[in-house]
Amino acid sequence: MIIYVVLALVGLLVYLKQKKNSRDDFSSLASYYGDHCWTAEDEVFDSEVHPFKIEIESAQLDDFRTRIENTRFSMPSLKDTGFTYGVNSEFMQDVVKYWRDSFDWRKQEEELNRFPNFKTKIEGLDIHFVHVKPVSSKNQAKPLMMVHGWPGSFYEFYKIIPMLTNPTLHGGNETDAFEVIVPSIPGFGFSQSAEVKGLGSLHCARIFHKLMLRLGHKEYYLQGGDFGSYITTHLSRLYPNAVKGLHLNFNTTSFPPLLILKILVGSFAPSLFFDKETANKLYPLKSMVLEQLLETGYSHIQATKPDTIGYSLSDSPVGLAAYILEKFSTATDPNGREKNDGDILKYWNYDELLTNIMIYWWNGNITSTMRLYKESLADHAPTSNIKVRVPVGYASMPNELGPCIRGQLEATYKRLLSFTRISEGGHFAAFQVPHLLVEDIRNFVRLAENEKARQSFREAECRQQFKQTHLDRVSQ
């Protein structure tokens, strides 16, 4: 009963707030346009794009090996707990053994350099990005920026990039060719971290728009998951004339008041209000709410005191790995919590998992990545009532964090062209099920292109009718 009362009160508060601010208030976004500098010193203007090769110094490798050799393991996990208390000790010992004896960083370094890497300075920060043009295309390639989240990286997209840039792979055709740009969020990967406070997801959106303009793209498509969903959604709010379409695989919206009421009433007869799959995610409400509380403690820490935990994660590669790998288990398949390996190895091998972790380790920026949670809290207030009016497609993963209902999305994304229930996959969709995600991206972009063509046709018809009416009046 307490759950129902809390949800009802939340719904009422949201409703009253939305009623008070029923129209989009773009004036609240004024401070997010323009130029900023995120370093302690004034920005040195440099608009050049420089090739970048990932090369870790031997001294860093030696230091890493020493730390791995001197690992001090945590106490053994309790019997039959799997990942329910956090990452399992037996699994971590296997990870460290492979990391120490079999993992070849130089080989993975070659893999990361397989696609062209670049850096360019924007708002005082060196922004790293991967830029891959299509293999060949009879038609003009569509620019597509893909944005990762936490605790992922640009490496998440290495499986899907070939499918997007080579339209003959996995059932595509010549019209499906994309020019793919994958930036590292400021403070993530090989992008420079801010030296002053305030850089949240809205500011990241502005930086990435400047990146696309620098690459010569005044119009482009977007795709994002996790923080990438927030950043690309903000991009669509700030620059709707530039964004041709937005594809997401993570829900950034809250439940609108009427939907909250529907969920509350529907708990007594779910089948009357929701399809079976949606009902299974929502009910019982107590389980749904408790699941969110169980798996979101880390976000509260990172949104309040990220620097404190950053000390331990920056000092121990095994501590860093444990913290990240636990998320790859629970955010991919909640049933994996019962197993000693968290079911992680069902979807990825050690090399893939450790390469993502090493990107955090080499750059020593786990603290700056967690700060994004704290900085982005300020972004919610000025955007909560602003609708997204560009074409949107959504890929609903069965094991994504939290439920997502089409009506929930439609309250914010006013031109939701597609809502696809994907057969498998979780939070790290591009990394786990790239073949399914690429199919949905292609289908969405086709819908967006067709809608644009129809709109252009209607506009041409209107212009012709106006012209004809004007001529008729003149002739009379």
- Domain residue spans in the chain? 2-456
Contact 412, 388 (CB under 8 A): yes
Of 129, 127, 135, 132, nearest to 143 by C-alpha is: 132
- By annotation, the residues acting in catalysis are 226, 373, 427
State the average pLDDT over residues 317-332. Answer: 95
Residue 246 vs residues 28, 30, 320: alpha-carbon distances, Å: 22, 22, 32
Instruction: State how beta strands 392-396 and 416-421 pair.
Output: parallel
Of 139, 115, 135, 178, nearest to 441 by C-alpha is: 178
Total-model pTM: 0.89
What is the model's pLDDT at position 150? 97
What is the model's pLDDT at position 168? 83
Segment 407-450, tens digit of pLDDT: 899 999 999 999 999 999 999 999 999 999 999 999 999 999 99
Q: Average pLDDT of the chain?
A: 88
Domain 2-456 carries which CATH code? 3.40.50.1820
Residue 109 clears pLDDT 80, i.e. is over it: yes
Sheet holding 416-421, edge to edge: 49-52, 117-122, 125-132, 178-183, 142-147, 220-224, 243-248, 392-396, 416-421
Segment 164-222, tens digit of pLDDT: 999 887 777 778 899 999 999 999 999 999 999 999 999 999 999 999 999 999 999 99
